[in-house]
Structures are given as structure tokens and as C-alpha cells.
Structure 1
């Protein structure tokens, strides 16, 4: 049986997506997503813990993320967990773990201003959903 690598998150965007247009016409959008967890400590005080996640969205999904996602917006992200390495400016090897998004759904925004919905989706009463379709060479058959 093959392994399963699937991540599902619901949280608020920490910043607007940063989009880079690469050689060959591909685009990548990077942004952070905050998820919150609550628990009670030994004294019974409610404690909030925020976890920050790095998200990468590629190709058409990156362009849609650039158009619709805004800082503070509540989103659903589904994707795969990936760890990669790179060389920093001092030529030190660094590692980053990120979620490579396959699907992003806009759930609303903070403070009543959702600014994250497309005019078409708002008029139709729908929540926009952005989904990355697999490339033909990624299909298992």
C-alpha cells in the first residue's frame, strides 16, 4: 500500500500572498497561515497557542490566490507536506517545511470585511474554491 501525505488546515492568513513568476511561465504564491489551539493550564487559565504554517500554491492556483486571498482572511487549505532545502545568502544549508496546496477555499474574513470573495461567487451566493488539477505527468496511470 502506498503512503498518504495529506494536510488539512483552517486558519487565518498572516499576510497577503507573495507571488513570483518563474521562467517557463509558472507562478508560485507563498503565504503563512495561523491555526489556533486552546487548552487550560494547571491553574485552569485558558491558554491560546498559535501555530504558523508555510503554504505554497503553484501555477493557476497561485494566480487565483494572488487575486482573492488577503491578510486576515479565513481559508481552508488542503495539500501535501513537503520539506526542502536551500542555500541562504551565507551559503548555509537551510530546511523549510511547507504545505504545497492542492485546494484552497475561502471561508470569510476577519472583522466582517471578507474582501476575499470574487464578485461572481458573491453574486451567486457561493464561496469560491480554488483547486489545483494534477499535471498529466503526475497521474499514476
Structure 2
């Protein structure tokens, strides 16, 4: 059996990089995925202006090593990315001795689906680059 997750969505904030005591660099960012909200008959709901109503879920994405370094360098808030990785569940006891639980996606690969303003404005010739670039 395999623990495999594939998500495509919008980056919610600029990725944050931290370093553990063992000198491992960890890059984390939030990813929003959306799907249309449906009524009890399965029809897509629309608001008063005719736009479809969506359910949005937020995912915590964690990257290590080269993937994390590249994400920190090239990924920014608002970009569309696809993440391939695995689900990881965690539990800990907080400072008030309450048991807490969390879930994150450990990314094995992050593919940029849209480039941010910084990369689009580069003077570097990007004609050799594909639209989708996996890290």
C-alpha cells in the first residue's frame, strides 16, 4: 500500500524556511484547494451574481532538502502549484498539557503551474522552459 497525495491549488502565503537543531532546512507553505459547493440534489450552488459557490480547504505543505530550497526560491503567494507527496499525521502535548493533533503534506515534488510576477518579469530568456516545472 502507498500513502500518495496529489493536490493542485493556490499558494496562500510566501513559503517560510526554518532550520532544525540538526541543521535540516524545512520549507512550509499553505495551499488552498477548492471545489464547487453542491445542494442536496447535487447541483452546483450559485450566489446572487451567478458565480458558483466554492468550498475551500487549506493544507499545510512541508518540503525538505532540494525541494524546499527550490520552493523557497521560486514559489510565492498566489501562484498555482501541484504538490505530490504523502499525508503525515502528528500529535503533541501543548504547554497547557492538552493533547493536540495535526496533519501536513510532506512534498516529494512541487510543480509550478503559474509563475509569479518576479519570474515573469525576469530578463532571462524563458523560451526554453516548460510551463510546468517540477522541483
Distance 2:56 2:85 in 1: 20
Q: 1:124 aligns with which of 116, 119, 128?
A: 128
Alignment of 1:1-20 (within 5 A): 3-20=1-18
Take 1:99 and 1:122, find their aligned partners in 2: how far apart are those partners? 30
TM-score of the superposed pair, with normalisation by structure 1: 0.76
Q: Deviations over 1:15-61 (max 9, x none)?
A: 01111012333111111100110134358533211011111001221
Give the aligned partner of residue 57 of structure 1.
63
Query: Greater shift after overlay, 35-44 or 14-23?
Result: 35-44
Count, aligned residues: 124
Please give the alpha-carbon distance, in whole angstroms, between the structure 1 residues aligned to 2:17 and 2:125: 23
Q: Is the aligned partner of 1:33 residue 2:31?
A: yes
Q: Which runs of 5+ in 2 are unaligned?
A: 47-51
Partner residue in 1 for 2:105 = 99
Question: What is the match of residue 74 of structure 1?
Answer: 80
Instruction: Judging by fraction of residues, say which structure has more helix.
Output: 1
| 1:116 Cα offset (Å) | 5.2
Please give the root-mean-square deviation of Cα atoms over the aligned residues, in Å. Answer: 2.3
Q: TM-score, normalised by structure 2?
A: 0.79
Distance 1:21 1:123, change over 3 A: farther
Q: Mind listing any 5+ residue stretches in structure 1 that lack a counterpart? A: 131-141
